[in-house]
Amino acid sequence: MATTTLKCIILAILFVAITPQLLIHAQQKVPCIFPFGDSLFDNGNNNNLLTLLKADYSPYGIDFVYGVNGRFTNGFNIPDILAQLLGFLNGVPPNRAGGGSNTVLRGVNYASGGAGILDETSLQLGQQIPMNQQLKNHQVNIGRIATILGNQTAADHLLRQCLYTVDMGNSDYVNNYYALPLTLTRILYSPESFAEKLIHEYSQQLTTLYNLQARKVAVFGLQPLGCIPRELFLYPPKGTACVDFINDAVRLFNTKLISLVRHLNTNLPGANFTYINTYGILSGNFAATLGIKVPNASCCEVNKITGLCVQDGAVCSNRDEYTYFDDYHLTQIVANYTTSRAYIAQTQSDAFPVDIQTLIQAQ
């Protein structure tokens, strides 16, 4: 019964997500949202970059109400769905499009496909906007907000009420540490020392975000990267469904990230950071809950070099039965499921210390 009820909730959210014309505009639960992250969060910031990491062509956006858009999925992604749950009818625009007018007061999305905690991550694939640059872009927009509101004090007051979501680290593993051919990073660092290196840098970045007045921050942990089609292609497992040594490294990072969230909340006055357990949400029986029949293969025809969809290539018709749209990225139905459990935790382990619904109520 519980599984059936949860599936009904997910499908109801999905219905809202793909039929925005039917939405009744609800009062926004926060004044603004600022997503930072990689391709799981990108909503078009990579479109104009010189990079192989783009989703500005068909079949990406095949189920999106406005068609091709730069999202690395068939429809809405996690920030889109979360924005809708928070009463934002149209979500927030990519930074490349939304930073120059009063729309910045509602927030902008800084995420970039291939972006990492480390500046050098994904550079072999072209341009991307790493976390350090995303923070610099946010500083520019804070200046715009201060100008619009008339002074920095008013801007700071607004910024402390906003929701910040951060999804970083996936690319640091997929396009750096576990990239092939063997990288210098993997030669120099053990999984333990690499996780430590990432967490050290991430701690500085999240502290910078706090110093820019962010007080309500949801930090998404890494998903089970050893189960994505790309890693299964590069490192074919023997007798297991996923690449265990990659998932072991991911869990190591996530454990350290939980400790970092606890440290930030303890040591930064007024800070409210929370950890979203993406790994746990996308483990266990989630596929059965959603009716997923293809858990570890891509829905679209993929380029074997990049793992992204072939432009105008073949695409499955039963997209709601796939976990992954291409070799890396979640389908819309799985993004809905992940977001719903991040927003309202279904189990105690979904979020630490609180889910996003509780986070936004923090004073």
Position 98 scores a pLDDT of: 58
pTM summary value? 0.93
Q: Is 37 exposed, middle or buried (0-12, 13-18, 19+ CB in 10 A)?
A: buried
Distance CA 254, CA 195 (A): 9
Question: Catalytic site residue 119?
Answer: no
Tell me the per-residue pLDDT of 89-135, one tens digit each, with 9 for 90 and over: 888 999 987 555 678 999 999 999 999 999 999 999 999 999 999 99
Nearest to 95 by CA among 158, 141, 149: 141
C-alpha distance from residue 88 to each of 31, 68, 81, 245, 270 (Å): 9, 21, 9, 40, 26
- Segment (H or E) for 197: helix 191-211
Distance CA 121, CA 198 (A): 11
C-alpha distance from residue 45 to each of 73, 94, 109, 292 (Å): 14, 6, 8, 30
Q: Rounded to an integer, what is the distance from CA 149 to the centroid of its chain?
A: 30
- Please give the CATH number for the structural domain made up of 2-359: 3.40.50.1110
Is the N-terminal amide bond of 353 cis, ω within 30° of 0?
Answer: yes
Position 329 scores a pLDDT of: 98
**Secondary structure of residue 169 in the 3-state scheme:** coil
Domain spans in the chain, listed from the N-terminal domain onward: 2-359
Which residue is catalytic, options 42, 63, 298, 329? Answer: 329
Question: Catalytic site residue 39?
Answer: yes
Distance CA 318, CA 333 (A): 11
Distance CA 314, CA 336 (A): 24
Tell me if 147 sits within 8 A of 19, measured CB to CB: no
Inter-axis angle of helices 332-343 and 78-85, to 10 degrees?
A: 50
Backbone angles phi, psi at 110, to 5 degrees: -100, -5
Which residue is catalytic, options 38, 172, 320, 326? Answer: 326
pLDDT one digit per residue (tens) for the chain, 363 residues: 444 445 545 544 554 444 333 333 458 999 999 999 999 999 999 999 999 999 999 999 999 999 999 999 999 999 999 999 999 988 899 998 755 567 899 999 999 999 999 999 999 999 999 999 999 999 999 999 999 999 999 999 999 999 999 999 999 999 999 999 999 999 999 999 999 999 999 999 999 999 999 999 999 999 999 999 999 999 999 989 999 999 999 999 999 999 999 999 999 999 999 999 999 999 988 999 999 999 999 999 999 999 999 999 999 999 999 999 999 999 999 999 999 999 999 999 999 999 999 999 998
Question: Catalytic site residue 203?
Answer: no
